[in-house]
Amino acid sequence: MLLNTLFVWTTATLLWATTSLAYPGQSEMAMLETRASSKLKDPTFFPNGDSNEYENGYNTLPPIPGANIDTTTFVLDGNGTTITTYVTANYDPSKIKRAVIQIHGETRDAWNMWQYLNVSMDQASQESDISKDEIVLAAPMFFDVLDAGAYPVDQSNTSNSHSLIWDSNSWGEVLDATYPVYDQKGKLANPPFQTKSSNSSKKSKNGSSNKRSVLESRKLKTNVELSSDQQSAGLSSGDVLDKYVNYFTNTTMFPNMKKVVISGFSRGGQVAARHLAMNTNMDKVNMVHYLIASPASYMYLDNRRPLPVPENCTTFNEYKYGLDGSLPAYYTRQKDTPEDIRNRVLQWEQFYLVGQSDGLNSDTSCEAMTQGKGHVDRMVNWVTKELTSMPNNPTPNKIPDHIYSGQVSGVGHNAFDILTSPAGIQALFVHDYNGENKPASGQRPLQPGRNGVVPEKLNGAESLYARMPPSVIAVLCFFVSLALIM
């Protein structure tokens, strides 16, 4: 009997220790070990087999099984301006409960983003009670002007479509698109563009050298030579996200819709974070939540920073790093104020993820360095210091319960690994799947109001322990031991 009792209490102690590690947020920086698991097959590919293809532009959009390349559904204005989107093929709107929007990074590989969501959804369907025919996946393609051929062009290689097209990845800063351009009658009037090369090796604010500096310095005729009867569409990546939200929350078309998830990785994470802050459509606050993964910087909402600001870094609080300076037209069209943003930002439900091994520092500008040394530090500082200090925080100086954050153990700067991790699946598919704070079954390693390291993969038993507080396991083991003694 004594041996039985010792065995039970030894087991209880081990379970308690394991669970203490597996329960995110026991402290601000709880640590979790990486759990071995078979890797999912990464479907990443590029049309010509080169992951750097985006630097010179894509000349085609690759088809992928299960998705349509849609150029007609998401119309943003009366002139017919559209956002090209990879979207689930042949879905039944009457069945849809959830729409997930995934924003690509600087590589502009929307097809890969859609595939990552699809793999993540497949995994979720095996581990929980979600139904794939109740979910629609969408991945916008934020074209660069270099992507001629991927968007339709005429004989002079100029866009002859109504598709939104940006210059130098400016969609990442929620700036207005360069194309399309219309005349006063609303007729398409896209002018050609010209490039001006630069030999400068100076790093841009994006922290990239030479090649990217050339792209950042490129000037387009559409920016400086529009005739008096021409105007651009005046639409940004923020307007695109508004369109998706309004489209998918139309209850006439989607009578069973419960949630729209806006998710972005890397530069796409910057878009998602800035849209969250500048989104004034509070009628949708219970229908939308955000997943912000691995951005290089954040738009701070006051002039405080977690690290010292050098004397010569006088622009540390200018947009896109803060709310000073020249803000995007999307912001001014909202007739918003910084105080409005500060009072509103905590009303949105938010998830933040970054790979624990993400050693990338893609933005070495002085502005970004005041936010942290790299992607991991910047996320932790944003969640634990900036957000906790906002007005209307229901838990002053603590992370509110509707904000979830974590570092995914064993993962670097990798969108596929983030989105298919248990934490990614939780944010994308499991959380609030049935509406009214009713999740689907399945793994939920992220705990509300916590920040820590979460495992890359969990098996079923580990996910159970990960969600069970240590005290509960200790009590259960105590009663088991009593039963054995008796």
Question: Vertex 305, ends 303 and 311: CA angle to 5°?
Answer: 80
Domain that residue 478 falls in: 2-20+471-485
Residue-wise pLDDT for 289-299, tens only, equals 999 999 999 99
* 199 belongs to a structural domain: no
Do residues 322 and 391 both lie within one domain?
yes
* 310 belongs to a structural domain: yes
Do residues 477 and 399 both lie within one domain?
no
* 454 belongs to a structural domain: yes
Residue-wise pLDDT for 87-98, tens only, equals 999 999 999 999
Which pLDDT score is estimated for 193? 80
Q: How far is it, in rounded angstroms, from Cα 56 to Cα 218?
A: 13
* 169 belongs to a structural domain: no
Q: Per the structure, how many domains does the chain have?
A: 2
Do residues 279 and 401 both lie within one domain?
yes
Q: How far is it, in rounded angstroms, from Cα 143 to Cα 157?
A: 14
* 377 belongs to a structural domain: yes
Do residues 420 and 477 both lie within one domain?
no
Do residues 455 and 309 both lie within one domain?
yes
Which pLDDT score is estimated for 51? 93
**Termini Cα distance of the chain:** 9
* 171 belongs to a structural domain: no
Do residues 106 and 38 both lie within one domain?
yes
Do residues 13 and 62 both lie within one domain?
no
Q: How far is it, in rounded angstroms, from Cα 359 to Cα 387?
A: 23
Residue-wise pLDDT for 55-69, tens only, equals 999 999 999 999 999
Residue-wise pLDDT for 422-451, tens only, equals 999 999 999 999 999 999 999 899 999 877
Do residues 7 and 107 both lie within one domain?
no
Which pLDDT score is estimated for 478? 58
CB 139 within 8 A of CB 113: yes
* 308 belongs to a structural domain: yes
Which pLDDT score is estimated for 154? 94
Do residues 321 and 433 both lie within one domain?
yes
* 174 belongs to a structural domain: no
Do residues 295 and 437 both lie within one domain?
yes
Which ranges of the chain have pLDDT less than 70? 1-38, 194-228, 452, 454-486
Looking at residue 406, which CATH number applies to its domain?
Answer: 3.40.50.1820
Do residues 138 and 51 both lie within one domain?
yes
Do residues 404 and 479 both lie within one domain?
no
Which pLDDT score is estimated for 114? 99
Instruction: Point out which residues pair with 99 in neighbouring strands.
Output: 136, 260
